[in-house]
Amino acid sequence: MVQYAVEAQRPGSPRSIPIRVRCTRALKIKKLQLVGFKTFADKTEIEVGDGITAVVGPNGSGKSNIADAVLWVLGEQNPRLLRGSDSRDVIFAGTDRRKPLGMAEVRLTVDNSDRSLPLDFHEITVARRVYRSGESQYLLNGAPCRLKDVVELFLDTGVGRGAYSFVTQNEIDAVLSARPEDRRELFEEAAGIKKYRVKKREAVRKLEQAEANLTRIRDILHELEAQREPLAVQAEQARRYLQLTERLREIEIDLLIADVQRADYELYSARRDRDLDMEAIARFDAELARLERESEAIGERLAQAERETDSAAISHQGALTAVERTESQLKLMEERGHAAEQRAEALDAEIGELVHRIAALERTLESADRTVECTEREEGSVGQRLEAARSRLAGLEEALAEASRQADDRQGALLRLAEQRAQRQAALAACRSRMAETAERRAGAVQTADEAAGRLAEAVRRLESVRAEAARLAGEVREEGERRAVLERERAGLLDARSRAATELDSARRLLAERSSRLATLRELQESGEGFHQGLRAVLGAARSGRLSGRYVPVVDLLTVEEAHRVAVEVALGSSLQDIVCDTEAEAREAIEWLKANRAGRATFLAPPLLRPAPRLAGSAVQGLPGLLGVGADLVRAEARFRPVLDLLLGRVVLAEEMDSALRASRRLEGWSRIVTLQGELLAPSGALTGGSLPGRGVHLVGRKGEIDDLSHVLPEIRARVEAQEAALAQAEASLARVESRLAESLSLLSDLQARAASVARDAAAAERDLERIAAEEAGARAEAARLAAVLEALGEEAGRWQESLEAASAEDSSADEAIARARDEAAHLESARDAARREAVALEVEAGRLAEKRASARREREAVGRSLAEARRALAARESQRQTAGALFADSDEARRELEHRLGEARAHLSRCEEHLAVWRARRQELLQESFDKSAAIKEATRRRADTLQELHAAELQIARLEVRLSQASQRLLEEYGIGPEEALARPAAQEMDRSTVSEVARLRREIRQMGAVNTGAVEEHQRLTERHEFLSGQRADLEAARESLLATIAEIDDSTRGTFMGTFEAVSREFGRIFARLFGGGTTRLVLTAPEDLLETGIEVIAQPPGKKPQHLSLLSGGERALTAVALLFSFLAVKPSPFVLLDEVDAPLDGANVEKFVDLVREFAEQTQFLIITHNPTTMESAPRWHGVTMPEPGISRVLSYRVPQESAPSDHAQAVAVAEPQARASGPAGSSEHSKAVATAVA
């Protein structure tokens, strides 16, 4: 349970009282359970005890996922704050060895034994689940709940999403870098006024809703007030209307009875004529039956003749087909015989050819046998000669070998002399090679010197070019700086233009919202039938729901009236505005029947085809009179098909500017029914004047319709204006973006030019160094050329000496060459003889090979001829067999031909008999066809006479139907409208025909009723209903105004409480911040400054810090370490003012050095007496402060495990420090998270 009291200076109080903080802490976290959350694939439970708990482990092992789990279970909705992009990213995604899971769940259990939280449980477990499908669920002690329930449960306890008790290193820097207005949220959390914010938002939402409802009710009341006075006038008209209609009813009853009696008599006469026609039709039917029976008999005989004719035709066709088939078979058989004869002749020719070929092959076979024998004899003779030649060749080769040995001995002596000469030549060549090499090196040195001279000149030119480029770039840098200044000024102008465009766009959008809201309200009133009488609303509702099939439109919806004329048209039409226009009489009758059947009121229907308007007033008659605007029908627009409706209702209505003009026109005009002024005054032909003030805006139906039309036309213009402003804003932003892009390009170009200028300066220095180096190279090359010239001269003298020694060795070689020449001549003679013997042996071997090939070829030829002879003999036997078959086929076809000629004669005789039978039946059929035609003509004549009589019967029946309808309609009208049945009407004495006086009275009554226009007979009932609704809405308006005042008072009360609490907390935090800041920095001061002290509800908070030895400055100007230490001071200032039961710190100590970490740890230990701390850290000093550790490891890639360790209370501080010193370095040295060494390292650290 958290208890704290703050007493601070309130606005207007004379003094400030220090805050007294009293805190007893029972609410604490007991354990955290994770299943499938990020890298915690398996169920993991982490117990959190009192004081400090440290979470350790190398980077990437999943430590921060524990902090994410706490934030997530308390309702964090932003995936980016959980280091993800989607709500489902928290579900274990799987590894190479493990499949992804379908659900993630985190449970947080807190101790509520003192009922700090408003739930009657000793322990409360908050759980959150999310499924891969996207569904999520919150639970409190296993019962499903809402996110709102979880947030409200921990509201203002210091625990929850967005609280200062959950801090990471990045969040600290974000808080220090935030805008002053954003930093206010931390102070609101410390002051516990977030609940006020929530209540105020709820109250403002309700207030906005009440304001919207109040505006809506005011609009409706305004419309209702505009209807009350017209309805009162309509009620008065209704009473006069009922008197006139009652007299007209009596006259119409007499006329209807006379019509019933007359229709009854005419119906009797028509039925008598119908009976006579029916008797004549019966006679014609009997005659037609007789003729049809006779026609049927003829038809049967004709059908028999047709069948016989068809049968004879089929037999004739069969006989004809048999003759044709036999002729075809005979022709085919003759062709087969001829083909067999030709085949036998061809086979005889082939057999003769095969006999001659066999004889030739036998002769060829005998010749091949003789060739084989002759070749074998020649092979034996050549073999003997080859053996003799080989013997002579062996003797000559032995003599040649001896001569060659002697020549080789002499050659060896010569070779030794040649070796000595070669050594001398080699020495001479080496000397000459060194001379050439030395000459080449000397030429190279000379060339190097010349090239160095050329490069020296080039280096001088390059240095001058680089210096010129440096000067040019300096000029470009100045020019680009000037262009950038111009762009800056252009950017400032565009920022101004964008601001103006945004302001104009906001104004246009507000106007669009106002007009759209007004149009929606008016359309809702129109669609709900507000202001329409009961009958009209009922018909429109039935038509919309499909209970009536026609198209029904109120007169007011057909009209388009200019705004200046709306009051006049509204008054002129009166209740006729609620007349219903339909397309046909049937639709009007259908609607009237429906109204009667459902007791839904009355309505007047206008069907344009049935309207007979009185002659309308010509517009030309009005134009010449001053003050008159025209005829009403000409001043109102509607579709052409509704022109009869306008002529009926406004064709004799005149619109005037004011009453005087109307009175003058009434004396000069003729044929008008009423004159109406623009102010709504009405002049009747009787001289009656109606006028006075109109309620509200003076219009209702026409005004509402006109306003809807006006708004419908205006809204597109406003939308176009909004779109134009949006386009202008977009254009301004695009121009601004282009200028900013050009600014960025300019900055980039300027940086590039400066970099190039620096590069050119470096190139100039390098060019100067190259110039010095090349000059040194030239001098060294020329010195080397002079030295190599002296070496070349000494080598020339040594070459002369070796040349003289070589000439002496050449003289000794001459005598040895002569002896070798004689030995070589003798060896050449022997070699020539040996070659001759070898050629002879080779020629004999070739001859022996040729004879062997000839013998083999002759044998192959003999075998081929044998195979051809056997094949020819087999072919001869086959042809002789085919010759016998062809002869037998010829004989068979000749016998079949004679048989087919006999069958053909019989078929032709049968065909002749069938032709005679067919001719007989065709003649019989023709006779019967003539008889059938004669009967058909008789039937046609009888049918024509019957049709004429039937037409007369139909005419009589049609007349009867008309009379029955006429009688039924008159009787039904008498019964429905006047309650007189048909029997009573026929039993009354014959009614007199309508005389002149009756006609005059009916005309007068109808004229007076017509001049009254459409009368709303339900006006009294409608007026009562309208009054009741007006009173009900007035009561609702009063209730809403009272609720509005109550909400405004509530918001003011919340604002007062918020200001007082916020100011007290601000002063308390400011004092604690100064104290803790001085403690951490060893001195210095700090101030918290309100950016808008006059507006305590929205003011931001600026932090001014002055570390020891420095001047006061904003947080953004502090160094990284100073900013981190300032953040720690601010965090603990909040904890000092409003202690939190639980604080989670994620690597907050990372940017602190050793000394500052010590101070941080001291603060944590001090506050740990009242607050649970869960610290994620790598710092050994921080780890040493914790009595319990949770080591996070990855025994396999992507899967986190937790190993827990509690430091024994009796352990020495040195042991604790040693364990800390070993833990983190071992974990870091274990390599990437997921390795087995990683697990061992963490196990060593925590075990």
pLDDT digits (tens, 9 = 90+) for 299-346: 788 778 777 877 877 887 777 777 777 777 777 777 777 777 777 777
Strand partners, 725: none
Max distance between CA atoms of the chain, in angstroms, equals 189
Residue 127 pLDDT class (50, 70, 90 cuts): very high
Q: Work out the average pLDDT over 1166-1195.
A: 88
Q: Of 587, 635, 631, nearest to 608 (Cα)?
A: 587
Q: Work out the average pLDDT over 1020-1045.
A: 81
Write down the mean pLDDT value for the chain: 77
User: What pLDDT does residue 39 have?
Assistant: 92
Task: Tell me 608's DSSP state.
Answer: G
User: What pLDDT does residue 995 have?
Assistant: 67
The residue among 1201 and 218 whose pLDDT is bigger is: 1201
Task: Report the sign of the C-alpha dihedral through residues 519, 520, 524, 530, in that order.
Answer: negative
Contact 1183, 1223 (CB under 8 A): yes
Q: What is the pLDDT of residues 761-773, one digit of tens each?
A: 777 777 777 777 7
User: What pLDDT does residue 700 have?
Assistant: 63
The CA angle 1134-1135-1140, to the nearest 5 degrees, is: 120
Sheet of strand 674-677: strand arrangement: 628-631, 653-656, 674-677, 682-683, 689-690
- C-alpha 666/C-alpha 322 separation (Å) is 112
At position 952, the amino acid (one-letter code) is E
Q: Of 1103, 1114, 1102, 1101, nearest to 1062 (Cα)?
A: 1101
At position 585, the amino acid (one-letter code) is E
The CA angle 597-601-606, to the nearest 5 degrees, is: 95
User: What pLDDT does residue 32 have?
Assistant: 93
End-to-end CA distance of the chain: 35
User: What pLDDT does residue 177 have?
Assistant: 59
- C-alpha 565/C-alpha 562 separation (Å) is 6
User: What pLDDT does residue 12 have?
Assistant: 37
Strand partners, 166: 1144
Judged by average pLDDT, the poorest of 347-356, 815-824, 911-920 is: 815-824
- Is residue 129 over pLDDT 90? yes
User: What pLDDT does residue 1011 have?
Assistant: 76
Residue 154 pLDDT class (50, 70, 90 cuts): confident
- Is residue 125 over pLDDT 90? yes
Contact 1162, 1185 (CB under 8 A): no
Contact 58, 1227 (CB under 8 A): yes
- C-alpha 773/C-alpha 455 separation (Å) is 10
User: What pLDDT does residue 1224 have?
Assistant: 45
Q: What is the pLDDT of residues 630-687, one digit of tens each?
A: 888 888 888 888 888 888 888 888 989 888 888 888 777 777 778 899 888 888 777 7
Task: Report the sign of the C-alpha dihedral through residues 1096, 1099, 1101, 1104, in that order.
Answer: negative
- C-alpha 842/C-alpha 124 separation (Å) is 120
**Would you tell me how many other CB atoms lie within 10 Å of the CB of residue 965?**
11
Task: Report the sign of the C-alpha dihedral through residues 849, 855, 858, 859, in that order.
Answer: negative
Judged by average pLDDT, the poorest of 389-398, 520-529, 650-659, 695-704 is: 695-704
Contact 1075, 1140 (CB under 8 A): no
Q: Work out the average pLDDT over 453-476.
A: 79
Residue 35 pLDDT class (50, 70, 90 cuts): very high
User: What pLDDT does residue 1227 have?
Assistant: 41
C-alpha count within 13 angstroms, C-beta hemisphere, residue 182? 8
Looking up tokens 């009657």 gives 120
Q: Work out the average pLDDT over 945-969.
A: 77
| Helix or strand holding residue 675 (H, E) | strand 674-677
CA distances from 602 to 579, 581, 606, 772, 1157 (A): 10, 14, 14, 119, 91
Residue 40 pLDDT class (50, 70, 90 cuts): very high
pTM for this model (two decimals): 0.41
**Would you tell me how many other CB atoms lie within 10 Å of the CB of residue 13?**
10
Residue 1214 pLDDT class (50, 70, 90 cuts): very low
User: Three-state DSSP class for 1225?
Assistant: helix
Residue 861 pLDDT class (50, 70, 90 cuts): confident
Contact 1143, 1135 (CB under 8 A): yes
- Is residue 123 over pLDDT 50? yes
Judged by average pLDDT, the poorest of 26-30, 89-93, 228-232, 1037-1041 is: 228-232
User: What pLDDT does residue 138 have?
Assistant: 94
User: Three-state DSSP class for 1202?
Assistant: strand
Given this structure, which CATH class describes domain 532-699? alpha beta
Q: What percent of the chain has pLDDT over 90?
A: 5
At position 486, the amino acid (one-letter code) is V
Judged by average pLDDT, the poorest of 619-628, 1115-1124, 1209-1218 is: 1209-1218
- Is residue 232 over pLDDT 80? no
Strand partners, 637: 560
- Is residue 699 over pLDDT 50? no
CA distances from 1022 to 235, 341, 603, 605, 906 (A): 9, 122, 13, 19, 110
Task: Tell me 1231's DSSP state.
Answer: -
**Would you tell me how many other CB atoms lie within 10 Å of the CB of residue 712?**
12
User: Which H, E and C letters describe 1052-1100, residue by residue?
Assistant: HHHHHHHHHHHHHHHHHHHHHHHHHHHHHHCCCEEEEEECCCCCCCCCC
User: CB neighbours of 324 closer than 8 A, spacing ≥ 6?
Assistant: none
Q: Of 961, 962, 997, 991, nearest to 974 (Cα)?
A: 991
Contact 351, 873 (CB under 8 A): no
Contact 1063, 1057 (CB under 8 A): no
Looking up tokens 């001896």 gives 402
Q: Where are the beta strands (DSSP E) in 132-215?
A: 136-140, 143-145, 166-168
Main-chain dihedrals φ then ψ at residue 1234, nearest 5 degrees? 115, -15
